[in-house]
């Protein structure tokens, strides 16, 4: 198993541009999450999904959108990028029926200038 | 929502000594408390967790304690080694969602 994979690893965006951060897991996990991590801070939940077709807002959803058309994929869309969205983004997944452990991807470092 | 506070923010210990990190949480409905280790340039990785019906859990050199009445939980690392140097995060879970502390940077001096 590859676990949770994220692409790209790094990206620089200009203010106002849009992009999609990709996240895929091959563990057949039903729950998936997107977090952002700012320097010296813990992880903040952006959006999460409890299964295909079901998504919900986390703590900091403004400026982002998600979709979950399959169990494996959970892309995060940034529309009209702003400097405040400069951060490291982590995707995670878990199989809630058996355990609460969340498995994290390697992260995407995004800079908006 | 849940608020998790973590102390200290940085911790420097001599190799072989113990390290203790403490967290408090606000929501009494929290039922699961994991600890994650994050190495430079990588995603967080679970090192130990505890559920609300357990007071203490140990895994080799790592232990976690939970005091539900006081709403705090702690991570204890004994016989620290250079590879223990990393950022450690505590978290509390309510309704499928984790709220994280701000992290503790642990440095083990050789």
pLDDT exceeds cutoff 90 at A98: no
Tens digits of per-residue pLDDT, B83-92? Answer: 999 999 999 9
For residue A67, the SS3 value is coil
What is the pLDDT averaged over residues A99-105?
88
Interface of A with B in 76-95 (CB under 8 A): 90, 92
Facing B98 at nearest CB: one of A41, A102, A105: A102
Q: What is the number of CB-based contacts under 8 A between chain A and chain B?
A: 57
Facing B93 at nearest CB: one of A92, A100, A106: A100
Q: How far is A49 from chain B (nearest CA, A)?
A: 10
Q: How far apart are CA B33 and CA B93, in angstroms?
A: 6
- Backbone phi and psi for residue B82, each to the nearest 5 degrees, phi listed first: -55, -35
Tens digits of per-residue pLDDT, A9-32? Answer: 999 999 999 999 999 999 999 999
Tens digits of per-residue pLDDT, B6-29? Answer: 999 999 999 999 999 999 999 999
Looking at the complex, does the CB of residue A39 fall below 8 Å from at least one CB of chain B? Answer: no
């Amino acid at each position: 198993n590859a676990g949770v994979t994220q692409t790209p690893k790094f990206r620089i965006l200009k203010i106002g541009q849009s992009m999609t951060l990709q996240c895929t897991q091959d563990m057949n996990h039903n729950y998936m999450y997107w977090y952002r991590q700012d320097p010296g801070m813990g992880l903040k939940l952006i959006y999460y999904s409890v299964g295909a077709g079901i998504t919900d807002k986390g703590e900091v959803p403004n400026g982002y959108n998600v979709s979950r058309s399959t169990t494996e994929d959970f892309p995060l869309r940034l529309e009209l990028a702003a400097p405040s969205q400069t951060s490291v983004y982590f995707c995670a997944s878990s199989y809630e029926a058996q355990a609460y452990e969340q498995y994290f991807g390697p992260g995407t470092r995004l800079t908006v200038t | 929502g849940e608020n998790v506070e973590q102390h200290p923010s940085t911790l420097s210990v001599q190799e072989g000594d113990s390290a203790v990190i403490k967290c408090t949480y606000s929501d009494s409905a929290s039922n699961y408390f994991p600890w994650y280790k994050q190495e430079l340039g990588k995603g967080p990785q679970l090192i130990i967790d505890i559920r609300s019906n357990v007071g203490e859990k140990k895994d080799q050199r790592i232990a976690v304690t939970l005091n539900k009445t006081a709403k705090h939980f702690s991570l204890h690392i004994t016989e620290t080694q250079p590879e223990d140097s990393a950022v450690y995060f505590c978290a509390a879970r309510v309704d499928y969602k984790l709220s994280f502390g701000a992290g503790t940077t642990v440095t083990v001096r050789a």
